[in-house]
Structure 1
């Protein structure tokens, strides 16, 4: 007796599911604006992280000179 074949179906990620719902509820312009806004948030976070790291490195180099 052979086991029945198993069919695997990938479960969409949360992001994929959210984008699908978003596409049903919003027009294209609103989707683009929301995506652009989120990309701006991510870029601001990256710049803030870089700024903190630069301040840390500068502080260490100044302490080493004293």
Structure 2
């Protein structure tokens, strides 16, 4: 008689479980970090546009005074 084939299934260790939890939490954290970074980029672009506009206004006022 032959023995039935044995199927070995590894029981997850505590370390494996912690890695899964960490990956779930980190993925959420990465999304938040990317969203915060993009918000910063958009805000920096807006401030740069405002600076350029303010510089143009100052130059126009300065040119008008010297004329």
- TM-score tier (shorter): 0.5 to 0.7
Tell which structure's C-alpha radius of gyration is larger: 2
Extract unaligned runs of 5+ from structure 1: 1-25
Taking the aligned partners of 1:42 and 1:54, their CA distance within structure 2 comes to: 18
Q: Which runs of 4+ in 1 moved over 6 A?
A: none
1:35-57 Cα deviation digits (max 9, x unpaired) = 00000000000000000000000
Extract unaligned runs of 5+ from structure 2: 1-25
The alignment covers a number of residue pairs equal to: 41
Matching residue of 2:42: 42
